[in-house]
Amino acid sequence: AQKVTQAQTEISVVEKEDVTLDCVYETRDTTYYLFWYKQPPSGELVFLIRRNSFDEQNEISGRYSWNFQKSTSSFNFTITASQVVDSAVYFCALSEASIRGGGGADGLTFGKGTHLIIQP
């Protein structure tokens, strides 16, 4: 069975600092997908990134960057020059490709989330 661990329950930094959110996953599948979502107080999930298991390239999108390392089963997320608006709960999630999914992938297994607080 798959598992996602976000060991950091809460992180508090001062604005403009860089911050890294850790994500470690477990899966027996060779084909899987990893995700990061942001959940502001409104509750709606905001999609940030999807990465499949065959693509280990790191990605940068503005102030956001992701480091995918299969060797350590990690998919860490870094926010550079953090801003108050980045304050939210961030979830890492995993989905395996399976026959049950009709060849597509199953529902997501989420980590417990990291509550990020950016102080002005």
Partner 1 sequence: GAVVSQHPSRVICKSGTSVKIECRSLDFQATTMFWYRQFPKKSLMLMATSNEGSKATYEQGVEKDKFLINHASLTLSTLTVTSAHPEDSSFYICSARSRDGVVNEQFFGPGTRLTVL
Strands (E), the chain: 3-5, 10-14, 19-21, 24-26, 32-39, 46-52, 59-61, 64-69, 74-79, 88-96, 109-110, 114-119
Looking at the Cβ atoms of 64 and 110, the one nearer to partner 1 is: 110
Q: How many residues lie near partner 1 (CB under 8 A)?
A: 25
**Closest approach of partner 1 to the CB of residue 16, in Å:** 27
Which of 51, 48, 20 has the alpha carbon at shortest distance from 34?
51
Interface positions, 48-77, toward partner 1 (CB under 8 A): 50
β-strand 114-119 against 10-14: which pairing, if any?
parallel
Q: Pattern of binders to partner 1 over 7-36, x per CB under 8 A?
A: --------------------------x---
Contacts with partner 1 by CB under 8 A lie at 33, 37, 42-45, 47, 50, 91, 95, 97, 100-113
